[in-house]
């Protein structure tokens, strides 16, 4: 440890111990760099482990259990309605988080990565100062630094009339209560995932979304089956609608809405605001370095994730969209390798994305909408899951597998899926896009029967004009 204000020389300081930061620190240490990892919250894992990916997926798993059990009635299996014991739910989720955080601490120790708990700020382009509550400040003079400080929820202006009644995603994941009526503001990833959790646990959920569809930017044919199912699960979904004011009442809040077809006011117990996240670049001393964040607050970086200040790299949410944990990890590995002098660049053909609702929506590579916008000549084929034996046997024929091929070469450029387990199935498509696979490669790959993965092979067969589980193509088509 550093004593008083004597600077200590290190090869690499990583600021932020989320998926991006710990992956970078671990790879750098494995490549022989003396690495210090600074994390303000203490335990490693970042937003993803503590208030993001992991707790939300733990609760979504339980939500699926509840809806699957209720839907088994149609197949002749009847269960009593679940009794929700919030204390035990909280403890169960916290248990998984603690186990995973301890695992990361052990992995850091095993590699000789020193972890310092505290808030890091740049003092100059070669020095980071770490302020900790119960220790003297540490001063680290580095050869290189990686900024991996992540992001935080965007707060909506004008909703300060009822602070107790407003949750962000972290507050909602803490399960403080099970509101009888919950308003979710934002029909994106978080709004739909956490709306699903609360609806399954018994809350009456209403969603308001500013744009004209859920999950803006995702191909509409992938969103449609999810939107249909959510219409049954949620009380209401109001599109083209925004919240203009919130006022606290005795038992909750009165929310004023402005939008087509939406009521002017709604009485709810709680409001979850999920309208996006913004990078953590404030309070980091960036003005003492050569880094100038872009207008949205992201740190501009090159292919190695090097910033405008050549010794300082940036990865993960703070370095730009998409704000996903696996993108942060991949960037962390590239930055660590580049710093260690290895040839490395962040140039993926496909970054998979998954919305873990029921059904799950997943996509990777070029979407149909993006292909159209960029004028890329593509041919898209779709296999409805009603043609999949496995999907029908699961009682879920509402899914869809969609492959987007370069029209003249038959090279796979993108994949989209909606249906249960889409988040697992996307891996094959991501690999295929990354490897430049042709339709023949996918069609010639034997897929296990009966699995949902067969729909990928079948979609490639359809592109080649010879599907088995669909009617034969008409001549000339």
Active site residues: 449
SS3 424: helix
How is residue 246 annotated by DSSP? E
> Please, where are the H alpha helices in 52-85?
53-71
Question: Does the footprint of ligand NAD cover residue 323 (CB under 6 A)?
Answer: yes
Q: 188 or 457, CB closer to ligand FAD?
A: 188
| Least distance to ligand FAD, CB of residue 411, Å | 26
CB 31 within 8 A of CB 340: yes
**Site residues for ligand NAD, window 153-182 (CB under 6 A)?**
156
Question: Which lies closer to ligand NAD via its Cβ, residue 43 or residue 195?
Answer: 195
Residue whose structure tokens are 């190695």: 304
**325 scored as a contact of ligand FAD (CB under 6 A):** yes
Instruction: Quote the CA–CA distance of 19 and 476 in Å, as a whole number.
Output: 51
* Among 363, 403, 399, 401, residue whose Cα is nearest residue 379: 403
Tell me if residue 150 falls in helix, strand or coil. coil
Task: Count residues near ligand FAD (CB under 6 A).
Answer: 36
Interface positions, 51-70, toward ligand FAD (CB under 6 A): 52-53, 56-57
CB proximity list for 16: less than 8 A, separation 6 or greater = 38, 39, 40, 46, 147, 148, 149, 150, 280, 316, 318
Beta carbons within 8 Å of 186's beta carbon, 6+ residues apart: 207, 208, 209, 210, 273, 274, 275, 276
The binder of ligand FAD chosen from 10, 12, 20, 437 (CB under 6 A): 20
Q: Which stretch binds ligand FAD (CB under 6 A): 85-93, 177-185, 320-328, 365-373?
A: 320-328
Residue 190 found at the interface with ligand NAD (CB under 6 A): yes
Q: Which two tokens stand for residue 265?
A: 């006011």
Q: Do residues 221 and 370 make contact, with C-beta atoms less than 8 angstroms apart? A: no
- Among the residue ranges 21-29, 63-71, 282-290, 352-360, the one whose residues contact ligand NAD (CB under 6 A): 352-360
Q: Give the residue carrying structure tokens 């998979």.
A: 352
**One residue of 13, 21, 226, 330 binding ligand FAD per CB under 6 A:** 21
Phi, psi (deg, nearest 5) at residue 349: -80, -25
Query: Which residue among 64, 127, 169, 241 contacts ligand FAD (CB under 6 A)?
Result: 169
Between residue 281 and residue 310, which ones bind ligand FAD under the rule CB under 6 A? Answer: 284
The pair of three-digit structure tokens given for residue 196, joined into one six-digit string:
């699903």
Tell which one of 2, 10, 13, 17 touches ligand FAD (CB under 6 A): 17
Beta-ladder partners of 416:
363, 402
Q: Locate 32 and state its tokens.
A: 């022989």
- Tell the smallest beta-carbon distance from residue 391 to ligand NAD (Å): 22
Segments of 358-411 assigned E as strands:
360-365, 378-384, 400-406
Among positions 47, 219, 358, 461, the unique one binding ligand FAD when judged by CB under 6 A: 47
Among 66, 101, 114, 119, which residue sits at the site for ligand FAD (rule: CB under 6 A)? 119
Binding residue for ligand NAD, selected from 176, 216, 290, 297, defined by CB under 6 A: 216
276 or 384: CB nearest ligand FAD: 276
Of residues 227-256, those binding ligand NAD (CB under 6 A): 242
Structure tokens at 140: 């680290």
R_g of the chain, CA atoms, integer Å:
24
Establish if 381 lies at the interface with ligand FAD (CB under 6 A).
no
Stretch binding ligand NAD (CB under 6 A), from 74-82, 97-105, 318-326, 452-460:
318-326
Site of tokens 């930061």:
21
The listed partner (ligand FAD, ligand NAD, none) that binds 156, CB under 5 to 8 Å by sort, is: ligand NAD
Nearest to 48, CA basis, from 26, 25, 19, 21? 19
What binding mask, one character per residue, do residues 188-227 give for ligand FAD by CB under 6 A, x or -?
A: --x-------------------------------------
Smallest distance, ligand FAD to C-beta of residue 395, A? 25
| Interaction between residue 275 and ligand NAD (CB under 6 A) | yes
Q: Which residues pair with 14 in a beta bridge?
A: 37, 146
Contact residues for ligand NAD (CB under 6 A)? 156, 185-191, 193, 208-211, 216, 242, 274-277, 322-324, 354-356
């Amino acid at each position: 440890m550093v004593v008083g204000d004597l600077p200590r020389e290190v090869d690499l300081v990583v600021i932020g111990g989320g998926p991006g930061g710990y992956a970078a620190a671990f790879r750098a240490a494995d490549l022989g760099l003396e690495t210090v990892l600074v994390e303000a919250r203490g335990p490693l894992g970042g937003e993803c482990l503590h208030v993001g990916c992991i707790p939300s997926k733990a609760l979504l798993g339980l939500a699926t259990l509840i809806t699957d059990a209720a839907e088994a009635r149609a197949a002749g299996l009847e269960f009593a309605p679940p009794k929700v014991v919030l204390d035990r739910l909280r403890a169960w989720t916290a248990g998984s988080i603690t186990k995973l955080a301890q695992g990361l601490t052990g992995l850091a120790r095993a590699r000789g990565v020193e972890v310092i708990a505290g808030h890091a700020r740049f003092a100059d382009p070669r020095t980071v100062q770490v302020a900790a509550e119960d220790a003297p400040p540490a001063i680290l003079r580095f050869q290189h630094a990686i900024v991996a400080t992540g992001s935080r929820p965007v707060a909506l202006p004008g909703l300060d009339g009822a602070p107790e009644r407003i949750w962000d995603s972290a507050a909602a994941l803490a399960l403080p209560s099970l509101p009888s009526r919950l308003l979710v503001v934002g029909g994106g990833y978080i709004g739909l995932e956490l709306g699903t959790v609360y609806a399954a646990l018994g809350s009456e959920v209403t969603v308001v979304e500013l744009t004209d569809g859920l999950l803006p930017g995702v191909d509409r044919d992938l969103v449609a089956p999810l939107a249909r199912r959510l219409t049954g699960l949620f009380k209401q979904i109001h599109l083209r609608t925004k919240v203009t004011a919130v006022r606290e009442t005795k038992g909750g809040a009165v929310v004023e809405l402005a939008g087509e077809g939406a009521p002017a006011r709604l009485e709810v117990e709680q409001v979850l605001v999920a309208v996006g996240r913004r990078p953590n670049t404030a309070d980091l001393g960036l003005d003492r370095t050569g880094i100038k964040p872009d207008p949205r607050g992201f740190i501009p970086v090159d292919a190695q994730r090097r910033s405008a200040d050549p010794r300082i790299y940036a990865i993960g949410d703070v370095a730009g969209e998409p704000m996903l944990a696996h993108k942060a990890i991949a960037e962390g590995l590239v930055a660590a390798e580049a710093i260690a002098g290895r040839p490395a660049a962040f140039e993926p053909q496909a970054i998979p994305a998954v919305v873990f609702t029921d059904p799950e929506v997943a996509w990777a590579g070029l979407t149909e909408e993006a292909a159209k916008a960029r004028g890329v000549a593509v041919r898209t084929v779709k296999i409805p899951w009603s043609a999949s034996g496995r999907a029908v046997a699961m009682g879920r024929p509402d899914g869809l597998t969609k492959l987007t091929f370069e029209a003249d070469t038959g090279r796979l450029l993108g994949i989209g899926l909606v249906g249960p387990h889409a988040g697992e199935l996307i891996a094959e498509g991501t690999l295929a896009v990354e490897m430049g696979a042709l339709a023949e490669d996918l069609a010639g790959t034997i897929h296990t029967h009966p699995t949902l993965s067969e729909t990928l092979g079948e979609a490639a067969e359809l592109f080649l004009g010879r599907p088995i589980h669909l009617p034969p193509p008409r001549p000339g088509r």
